[in-house]
């Protein structure tokens, strides 16, 4: 699995790709930390529980930052070299900023303001090229905030200094619902705002996202209703895949060069 697929797996297992009106106001950094760690609790990677190697920042508070930093150091002590090997750990959090330097970049993660992750400048530039659309989406003119999540495999470069070995990025809504791209924001915002129940399918490592519904409406009847977005900015292959998915059966479809149509009504 790629790091993006790992993020999808953990977010789905933790239930962050599902939404019901009862969840409004109940998702925050503490909830994210708790449920991602719980999702990793019974997963082994090469015989080691993933939860032992997964770090998700706890909510930052000025009054408790020293204790939180000590808990982080204790958790990441697993990175100490052993028998000539440099163990890895996985950090998942919300990307905040990158400070560029000549030979290395400092990657800042929200709720972790006192411990940047180091990354070679060329590695960051490569990551930024691959995920350029996701980085740009943070500046989109959206109604609600778009989060940019990062999953980073890290090693200890030196004592208490953490270096990124590899990383991947993923968009999420302000409610931590994973997104494929910024084009999904108006639909997700409308579903949340109208207090609908829905599921966001995740594509893991599938090469094309167009074949998947952008959301599945769960309260429109006896069976889920696929909701598809045909983006005017999609590439030719992606748009063709999406058009084929729309043509396969009954669904709701929005072509973004037109106003968004009304969503299917809730079942009585």
Residues of the chain with pLDDT under 50: none
Instruction: Name the one residue in this structure whose structure tokens are 């659309």.
Output: 133
What's this model's pTM, rounded to 2 decimal places? 0.94
Calculated CA dihedral for residues 264, 200, 203, 11, nearest 10 degrees: 180
Instruction: Look at residue 144 in the predicted model and tell me its pLDDT.
Output: 87
- With beta carbons less than 8 A apart as the criterion, state whether 90 and 152 touch: yes
Residues 6 or more apart in contact with residue 169 via CB below 8 angstroms: 4, 95, 127, 131, 134, 135, 148, 149, 150, 151
List the Cα angle 247/234/121 in 5-degree steps: 145
72-109 pLDDT tens trace: 999 999 999 887 788 999 999 999 999 988 788 999 99
What are the sequence ranges of the domains in the chain? 3-172, 206-255
3-state percent helix, strand, coil for the chain, nearest multiple of 5: 30, 30, 40
Residues in Cβ contact with 210 at an 8 Å cutoff, skipping those fewer than 6 apart: 234, 237, 238, 239, 240, 241, 242, 244, 245
Which residues sit opposite 177 in a β-bridge? none
């Amino acid at each position: 699995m790629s790091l993006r697929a790992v993020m999808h797996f953990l977010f789905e297992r933790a239930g962050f790709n599902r939404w019901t009106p009862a969840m409004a106001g109940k998702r925050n950094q503490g909830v994210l930390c708790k449920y991602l760690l719980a999702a990793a609790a019974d997963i082994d990677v090469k015989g080691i529980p993933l939860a032992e190697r997964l770090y998700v920042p706890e909510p930052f508070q000025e009054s408790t930052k020293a204790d939180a930093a000590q808990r982080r150091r204790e958790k990441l002590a697993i990175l100490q070299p052993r028998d000539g090997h440099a163990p890895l750990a996985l950090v998942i959090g919300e990307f905040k900023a990158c400070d560029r330097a000549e030979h290395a970049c400092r990657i800042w993660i929200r709720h972790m303001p006192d411990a940047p992750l180091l990354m070679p400048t060329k590695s960051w530039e490569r990551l930024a090229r691959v995920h350029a659309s996701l980085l740009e989406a943070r500046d989109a003119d959206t109604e609600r905030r778009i989060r940019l999540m990062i999953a980073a495999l890290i090693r200890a470069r030196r004592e208490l200094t953490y270096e990124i070995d590899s990383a991947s990025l993923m968009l999420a809504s302000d409610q931590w619902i994973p997104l494929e791209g910024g084009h999904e924001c108006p639909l997700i915002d409308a579903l949340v705002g109208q207090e609908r129940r829905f599921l966001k399918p995740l594509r893991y490592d599938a090469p094309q996202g167009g074949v998947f519904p952008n959301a599945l409406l769960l309260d429109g009847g006896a069976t889920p209703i696929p909701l598809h977005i045909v983006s005017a900015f999609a590439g030719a292959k992606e748009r063709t895949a999406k058009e084929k998915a729309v043509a396969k059966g009954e669904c709701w479809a929005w072509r973004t060069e037109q106003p968004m149509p009304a969503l299917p009504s809730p079942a009585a």
